[in-house]
Amino acid sequence: MLTLAPHVAGAMRDALPVVAEETVVAVIAEVPEYAASDTAETRTNIEGAVQMALAAFVRLAEDAHDTDPGMPHQAVLAAAYELGRGEARDGRTMDALLAAYRIGARVAWRGLSAVMVGEGLDASALAHFAELVFAYIDELSAASVAGRADEIATSGRVRERYLERLAELLLQGADAAALQDAARRAGWEPPATLTAVLVPAVHVRRARAMLDGRTLALTGDLAGDDALTEDDVILLVPDAHDRGRARLLRGLRDAHAVVGPARGWTDVAGSFARALRARAAIAADPLQALDTEAHLAALLLAADPDALGDLRRRVLAPLADLRPLVQERLILTLRSWLLHQGRRDDVAAELIVHPQTVRYRMTQIRDLYGDRFGDPQTVLELVAALGTLSPAEARAFAQP
């Protein structure tokens, strides 16, 4: 370490206020992020940090055998670390922080070297002093960079936990006041609506890439629902209603997603519950997102599976004595007839049979049901029982 004579160190200390002031002016003039926040407080903070750092450096360089030079050095490194954390909290970038240090090094060298020249130090001493100044500033900047990085990592983890807690409360259906408070703590701006989406974990990264940045995410194990596993992820997507829903569905192609309805953001628990029911009740096309809005009737009928099974057995009782193959054909024909409102050609096209075959089968059905086939209540029960019946279910029902 270069040892400064007491009178040189004293002259440097006398120059520190001017050097600090010049540093403030240069940083604010040359770094846009500091210029944008140019206040008396900002100037005071920068000036104080510069004076403290340079005073510690001068003390280290001074021939001070009666003091421990390590103490001020550690203190100034700790201060630089805290400065970095503060810069992160104020939202300034790494580039701005490093630019401020580069400017500070330049201004400090210019001011302090002028003092050394005035005190008669030779070129060799000046060169050595320059090396030490810039090495010292590099050490301080490294401490500030570390502080900034640690602050971002810490605040990021804290905010992530706040966002997870908000998602948990939303899925639990917490009251509006608790949700507003949780959103405020997380620094999350509530949207008009939220839409619950179930996505396998393997597809989450791709899905999130096209979603609103305010989208909340919670893994199945954190959600605590028995119908979920750790491979499930629940996404709560902001403002995916009206035209936004079509974009959402297109973006989730091939993601094996189940998309609940859009709800007011404090009521998204209902969207989540419907998505869960739809996944359990509806066979999904793996190439398309399962849109719960397109399956409302099926979801309604699946709400009580035992009741639906009892209803099917009752309304199909007139077919019970037929051979299984005949039962299956008549069940599917009756279903198609009801849904196509008796349009024979449409029924024939769906079943891939001749219209005369449809006519023959419907004659059989009318004979089996008799007067009940014209009863509105019977028609209602038939539509409810058969509307969501798949060919496989019809085949299983017809087995002896």
CATH of the domain at 38: 1.10.490.10
Same domain, 25 and 85: yes
Answer with the one of 98, 133, 154 that is the final residue of a domain. Answer: 154
Quick check: 78 pLDDT over 50? Answer: yes
Same domain, 133 and 21: yes
What pLDDT digit, counting tens, does each position of 141-181 carry? 899 999 888 888 777 788 888 899 999 999 999 999 999 99
Tokens 């006041």 sit at which residue? 177
| Long-range Cβ pairs for the range 190-193 (8 Å, 24+) | 190/265, 190/266, 191/238, 191/239, 191/265, 192/239, 192/241, 192/264, 192/265, 193/238, 193/239, 193/240, 193/241, 193/262, 193/263, 193/264, 193/265
Quick check: 240 pLDDT over 60? Answer: yes
CA separation for the pair 376, 374 (Å, rounded): 6
- pLDDT at position 69, please? 41
Pairing of strands 290-291, 258-264: parallel
Is 179 a member of any domain? no
Same domain, 22 and 147: yes
Domain count, the chain: 3
User: Distance of CA 204 to CAs 200, 201, 340, 357, 370, Å?
Assistant: 7, 5, 40, 49, 55
Q: What tokens appear for 338 in the block?
A: 């009801």
The parent domain of residue 275 ranges over 189-301
The type of residue at 225 is: D
Whole-number mean pLDDT of the chain? 86
Same domain, 96 and 201: no
Same domain, 26 and 130: yes
Task: For residues 333-338, give the mean pLDDT.
Answer: 94
What pLDDT digit, counting tens, does each position of 157-166 carry? 888 888 999 9
